[in-house]
Structure 1
Amino acid sequence: MAEIKVADISRWQNVVNFDVLKSEVDAVSIKVGGSDGGMYVDGMFTRNRDEARRVGLPRWFYWYKGGAGSPEEQAAYFIQAVGGLQAGEGVVLDDENEPTVNVDFDARFADKIKELTKLNAVLYSNQGRFVGNLQPIKDRNIGAWSAKYGTNSGNPEPPAAAAGILTVIKWQYTSRAVLNAVKGNTVDMNIFYGDVAAFQAYGAPGAIPAPSTPVVPSQPAPGDGYYTVVSGDGLIKIGQKLGMDWQLIARWNGLVAPYTIYPGQRLKVFGGATGTGSIPNNGATYTVVSGDTLSGIGVKTGHNWQDIANLNGIGSPYTIYPKQVLKLPGGAVATPKESTYTVVSGDYLVKIGEKTGKAWQDIARVNGIAAPYTIYPNQVLRLP
């Protein structure tokens, strides 16, 4: 059987050299955004999409399922954010924020995708989460893109069919691939079981335009720290409306040049429609220890990590170092916690959370672990 190598690309890979990447992989899966903590567009999506198209790398686009918005709203927001599909571009739902795949959510998401694009959505998750009655998913999805966190350390051999019902068409065999095209981070690498033509056959048969009506997801109450983009908005204009520094808004939302936004997009502004964007500091500080990340410090100290970054003038890629003294947005001086857990074979974050009595999401944040939440035996995790 033919096989091709597919790299998973998002803002975590920073600025990718797609001219080099084209010589290292056969195709890419590009993160569009997600709904974990409010619907958002990945800060590097526009560049990654445009660069992949420029160099002619076959591509799928994926959406990280979260708790903000209904399945239908998330699907519509996803397709709106893509900005229209070109021939061969496929769509994927990444469902990994619950102990098992959410069959009802996934089916409804897939139905909305089908309504908007006429395409079937591929489903991505950890192999262990493909449990329960998966028939509704099989009825709507072409196949499963599967991973097995903690043991996907390089073996490209295909796993068993997901729960014996879904065909595994793509296998994430490592989360630690090193590519010349990517500096400063590793890459999730996958095997697609088929050639490039088969990969593209899961995508659009021709151009599919974005929905003509801007997607406006369910909004929180006014003044809670979000702003919804309207037609004609730009970051500078929004900053002027709210009396805020537009560059702060960009950093809070992971936006980078060319700072693309679109109607219906919800932006974090941390102060509501009347906010000034200022971040107070009452003299509280935190001293960085080895292994710290800004997100982990945010969890330990009870502050938003973006606020900590902005207060200390730290921009992307958000580099910090041991013994660095960071100002905090108020509160008492924080002291680091030293409670740890050593990963054993078969562990995954949900399981570790059950063992330790900690929320798995907090464990991920403390250790700077992002989707697809890959861990490995003997890794030492700090506990919140």
Structure 2
Amino acid sequence: MALNGIDISNYQRGLDLAQVPCDFVICKATEGINIVHNTCDPWIQSAKKLGKKWGFYHFFNGADPIAQADYFVANCKNYFKEGMPALDYEMYGRVGTDKAKKFLDRVYELTGVRCAVYTSRSVLTEEDWSQIAPHHALWVAQYANTERTGYQSNPWLPSGGFGAWDTVTLHQYTSNGRLSGYDNPLDLDIAYLTKEGWDKISNPSGSTVPDVQQPEVPDEDIEGTALELAARVMAGEFGNDEERKKNLGNRYDEVQDIVNYVLTAPAARVADAVERGQLGNGDLRKKVLGSRYAEIQGIVNQRAGVGTARVYTVKSGDTLSEIGAKLGIDWHTIASKNGIGAPYTIYPGQKLSY
């Protein structure tokens, strides 16, 4: 028996779980070493009252992985052994599975609970997960298209491997889900679990009393979110290289990781982050993106149908080489512009900028 659910963050602020149908909800709790989402606890308390299964996740970034694990546990200590914890590994948090393992091992050391791991399917073969997969459930993101949809009992998940994992435990199959009781897009998920299976991941020991160690979390020297500090870096503050590292102190890794992502990631991937609200809005987004603002915002506008779009929608049976030949463009250029790497997987309904 599978469970249907949603994962939400402060971008869904105002959502009433009593009005939205779901067997489970997974809420963003923390990010890096200085962000706690104040939407998380009200939703979790609501889920408890409604008898829904629930989870909570940490968005990984470039800060020290042990410090991130300590921060996650310190701010979620009362959730462990009740809800399912998860690590969100994507975008500017892709700093190596060796660091992800340090985070995961530290959480386990402090709580006795193993986090599920959330990432996109392509990342499973682009990085080495062999030391992580045997001990952690996989929560994979793979979408058939970007069309609106409600819950699906058998969402599209093509055959093939999942890297070091043998099976998928949770599948996020759309970011454009629509459910009654909420008017905006939602991430929809299916968990191939019974309620008892969910509880087993959340509390493998079956202990009824949480036994979570309280780590010490150091005070931050520099105020502001990582995005705000990244915007200041893009504007020329904090200096360069060693000077910047000294000025940012223990905030350096998380801030520099955002800067590196914005400056070096393929435009389509940065646009994905913008669309998910993860690089800010308005003036903050403009400052974070710096000299790439026009390029990235142009892609976002094209996808939204604003301006003169040059977008190809993938049809069933299409390959990148065939699309390139049809458009008169080297297919490698299309792949690079849209952040597609080996094995160059595309799917029906996907929109490719060219």
TM-score, normalised with respect to structure 1: 0.57
User: Are residues 226 and 157 of structure 1, via their aligned partners in 2, closer, same or farther at CA, if it must alter by over 3 Å?
Assistant: closer
SS across alignment from 2:26: strand
Q: Are positions 1:134 and 2:125 aligned together?
A: no
2:37 is matched with which residue?
42
Q: Are positions 1:92 and 2:86 aligned together?
A: yes
1:368 is matched with which residue?
none
Spell out, residue by residue over 1:82-108, the C-alpha distance to the aligned partner (whole angstroms, 9 max, x if none).
Answer: 241254411100101259683112211
SS across alignment from 1:168: coil
**Equivalent pair of 1:85/1:207 in contact (CA under 8 Å):** no
SS across alignment from 1:197: helix
Distance 1:198 1:190 in 2: 16
Q: Which of residues 107, 115, 122 in structure 2 aligns to 1:121?
A: 115
Which residue identity lines up with residue 6 of structure 2 in the other structure? Answer: A
1:176 is matched with which residue?
176
2:163 is matched with which residue?
163
User: Are residues 297 and 88 of structure 1, via their aligned partners in 2, closer, same or farther at CA, if it must alter by over 3 Å?
Assistant: closer
Distance 1:299 1:111 in 2: 35
2:267 is matched with which residue?
none
Q: Which of residues 39, 52, 59 in structure 1 aligns to 2:54?
A: 59
Q: Are positions 1:298 and 2:283 aligned together?
A: yes
Which residue identity lines up with residue 170 of structure 2 in the other structure? Answer: K
2:329 is matched with which residue?
none
1:261 is matched with which residue?
none
User: Are residues 164 and 301 of structure 1, via their aligned partners in 2, closer, same or farther at CA, if it must alter by over 3 Å?
Assistant: closer
2:2 is matched with which residue?
3
User: Are residues 300 and 93 of structure 1, via their aligned partners in 2, closer, same or farther at CA, if it must alter by over 3 Å?
Assistant: closer
SS across alignment from 1:61: strand
SS across alignment from 1:181: coil
User: 1:78-89 alignment to 2 at 5 Å?
Assistant: 78-85=72-79, 87-89=81-83
Distance 1:302 1:86 in 2: 37
**Equivalent pair of 1:126/1:149 in contact (CA under 8 Å):** no
1:198 is matched with which residue?
197
Distance 1:114 1:48 in 2: 24
Q: Are positions 1:355 and 2:336 aligned together?
A: yes
**Equivalent pair of 2:134/2:165 in contact (CA under 8 Å):** no
Q: Offset at 1:207?
A: 3.6
User: 1:4-23 alignment to 2 at 5 Å?
Assistant: 4-21=3-20
Q: Offset at 1:356?
A: 3.8
User: Are residues 357 and 13 of structure 1, via their aligned partners in 2, closer, same or farther at CA, if it must alter by over 3 Å?
Assistant: closer
**Equivalent pair of 2:313/2:352 in contact (CA under 8 Å):** no
Bigger helix share? 2
1:111 is matched with which residue?
105
Q: Offset at 1:355?
A: 3.0
Q: Offset at 1:17?
A: 1.6
SS across alignment from 1:145: strand
**Equivalent pair of 1:26/1:196 in contact (CA under 8 Å):** no
User: 1:306-321 alignment to 2 at 5 Å?
Assistant: none
Which residue identity lines up with residue 136 of structure 1 in the other structure? Answer: Q
2:302 is matched with which residue?
none
Q: Are positions 1:26 and 2:28 aligned together?
A: no
Q: Offset at 1:147?
A: 1.1
User: Are residues 59 and 11 of structure 1, via their aligned partners in 2, closer, same or farther at CA, if it must alter by over 3 Å?
Assistant: same
**Equivalent pair of 1:10/1:44 in contact (CA under 8 Å):** yes
